[in-house]
Amino acid sequence: MRMPQVVDLGEAGFLALDASAISQKAVDLRRGTGRLAEDGAQVSSGWRSLTAVYQSPVAPGLVSAMEPIGYVASGMSGAMGPAAVALEDYAQAIGSLQTRHRSIDADAGILSQEAAASPDWQSDPLLLARQARLEQSVSTLESDFDDAREQCVAVLDGILVPAVQITGSFSTAGVGAWDPRDLRSVSSLDALTPTQVNAWWISLSPVAQSMYLMTEARLIGGLDGIPSAVRDTANRSRLDGELARLVAEREALNLDEQSGSQRERIEVLDRRIGAIRAINHVLERGGRLLLHFDISGPEPLAAVAVGDPDHAEFVGVLVGGKGTTVDGGAGKMDTGARQVRDAAEVVGSIPAGDVVVVSWLGYVAPPTFADAADPSFALEGHPGLRQFTQGLAAVRPAGGAEPTVTVGGHSYGALPVTLASQLPGSQIDNVVTYGGPGIAETFPDDIDRYWMANDNDLIRGVVGSGWYKYQPSTRDGWEELSTDPFEADGVELTAGEHHSYLVEGSSTLHNLAAVIAGRPDKAVPYGQD
Amino acid sequence: MEAGWRIDSSGVADVLERGDDDARLLSAALSAVSVSLDEATGVLDDVVGAALRRLHEQWQPAASSVDRRTVAVLETARTVVRDHLVTDDDMAARFTSSQIGADDASNRFAPRTAP
């Protein structure tokens, strides 16, 4: 008797897979990654014993250079955890599908036997119903196989493996003479002025400089007085590693049940991750130098130059106001800086490269409008701005021309800018505040000062409150520049106000550019437009 | 500002040797994971196998970066310590014993523990 084939089981792809083999490989992977975390931790912790037998200013740097190995290995191990779980789940799913397939196959065989015994089986509603159920089961098997694959692939494709930063300095360190007398401790460098920092740096041998770049990139990248190109190299060398580390930590927290402190940590991590991504986005525009990169505090800080300030005749430093953050504001500030640079080149008929504009996000700005009445943000941040401008001059060769430095403070930024300008030794030549709520009280006579204000500036709402009782005035040597529409060199310029002072084609952009370019005579004073 | 110097030469040699051993173990662990990924890919179907291969491709440069950095730090430390000792000797040779504090300072400019 020939049995009819009442159910077509097809060629199920999962039948060719060995579920136990997949499961075993998942176990191997889990075991291997566990060992990796332990071995990575041992490398870093064992290396710390170097400080017991070698003491010099560079010893901490040598130890810290190995620290990332432990946490990156741990991150790599952690990243592979979900892969092992996904493979184990997949192996289980395959095993289950194969069991179900065997069961369906057996039921189909019985049904075939019964159909063979009944010539009219295709008219038998009970047999037909069983046939339909079995066919449905076969169809479900296939869709479940697809689901299992998709689920496993989604997990595997979602894994980001952290890497440790390798800079070019690794390949050059060790070449040539090394003079440990050149070395200084981190704390001792922090105490130096930008001029002293520069003198120390240029006295180092190339090998020593490479050593510092390798072991103390964070320090070198943030030191005013170090050449801008070096700071850029140091800061950029940290971006990928920091991002990978932060993302790995962020993903690990996602996997756990989140407590209040974990949520706070996630917020910090998100800000730092967002800041690095924003910086990367700006750097991708090209022609930028990353002069500052600090994610050690609650709010990431940075400074990005459009061009190389070490070789420019005119340098503008823009300082943002309320709510300016690296992750939320670096892109917009950089766009404004580029537009100011372009406009300054035109207004001053200055060759490309001789005007550089820096987005200085080196202080924690007040996050809300209410906070804008609090001077503590400016009081905390202004010494860093003063030192940054000192660094711009310190990197110039002895006896060479120093840059003309203009600092522009937008909104609340007017406060740190005017405070920094009052400190002794500031290298600021011009100050421009725009859309500011007020200024610091006194001002040195040797600094030219300009202000722009528009009645539509939202920040004017806090004028007269507490700290902001001091306003720029012509009596104190300030010159007010126009924010109204006007024509300059045959070009119609639009009005500028609170959020659009640096918009291309605006009168305010023109005026700020004119001052930065050393041509304040080309700026349009208030009331003369 | 100028921190004191101290080198325990034999201690440094021990730390470097242990560092080499730890680095070798770490390198072996990185390779083991790579082998596991490779073997797992071999027992999978095309779709999941391709995803695991993509992960493996991401893994390799990361593993290489860890390997390279570990070795680079060890080699840099060797160079720093060696150059430190050479400079020590070089400086010591420029001074008479009276200038460096006579017998107490031995013939070393920077104080250190002799091996």
- Model ipTM value: 0.80
Q: What is the pLDDT of residue B7?
A: 82
* SS3 track for A19-51: HHHHHHHHHHHHHHHHHHHHHHHHHHHHHCCHH
Cβ distance of B29 and A39 shorter than 8 Å: yes
Q: What is the pLDDT of residue B100?
A: 38
More confident residue, A84 or B103: A84
Asked if the model's pLDDT at residue B53 lies above 90, the reply is yes
Say if CB A173 and CB A210 are below 8 A apart.
yes
C-alpha separations of A438 from A52, A412, A455, A466 in Å: 54, 8, 14, 10
Of A62, A162, A174, Cβ closest to residue B62: A162
From chain A, pick out residues whose CB is under 8 angstroms from the CB of B28. 39
From chain B, pick out residues whose CB is under 8 angstroms from the CB of A28. 36, 39-40
For chain A, the structural domain boundaries read 13-162, 284-522
Residue A57, token pair as written in the block: 């200013």
Query: What average pLDDT does the structure give for chain A?
Result: 86
Of B22, B47, B58, Cβ closest to residue A46: B22
Please write the tens of the pLDDT for every residue from A192-213: 899 989 988 887 766 567 767 7
Please write the tens of the pLDDT for every residue from A237-276: 899 989 998 998 888 876 555 677 778 888 899 999 999 9
CA separation for the pair A303, A320 (Å, rounded): 11
- Residue A251's φ and ψ, nearest 5 degrees, are -70, -35
Helix (H) or strand (E) holding A301: strand A301-306
CA separation for the pair A56, A49 (Å, rounded): 14
Helix, strand, coil tally for chain A in percent (to 5): 60, 10, 30
From chain B, pick out residues whose CB is under 8 angstroms from the CB of A69. 26, 66, 69-70, 73
C-alpha separations of A341 from A68, A248, A323, A479, B15 in Å: 39, 38, 24, 22, 53
From chain A, pick out residues whose CB is under 8 angstroms from the CB of B108. none
Residue of chain A minimizing CA distance to B114: A53
Highest CATH level, class, for A284-522: alpha beta
CA separation for the pair A485, A478 (Å, rounded): 21
State the pairing for strand pair A288-294/A301-306.
Answer: antiparallel
CATH 1.20.1260 for domain A13-162: yes
Q: Which residues touch A417 (CB under 8 Å, ≥6 apart)?
A: A319, A382, A385, A407, A408, A409, A431, A433
- Residue A447's φ and ψ, nearest 5 degrees, are -110, 125
Cβ distance of A173 and B63 shorter than 8 Å: no
3-class state of residue A130 by DSSP:
helix
Residues 47-76 of B with CB under 8 A from A: 47-48, 51-52, 54-55, 58-59, 61-63, 65-66, 68-70, 72-73, 75-76
Global confidence as pTM: 0.58
What residues in chain A have per-residue pLDDT under 50?
167-183
- Chain A interface includes B92 (CB < 8 A): no
Side chain identity, residue A470: Y
Please write the tens of the pLDDT for every residue from A57-107: 678 878 888 888 998 899 899 889 999 999 999 999 999 999 999 999 898
Cβ distance of B72 and A47 shorter than 8 Å: no
DSSP string, A168-225: THHHHTTSS---GGG---HHHHHTS-HHHHHHHHHHS-HHHHHHHHHH-HHHHHH-BT
Cβ distance of A163 and B65 shorter than 8 Å: yes
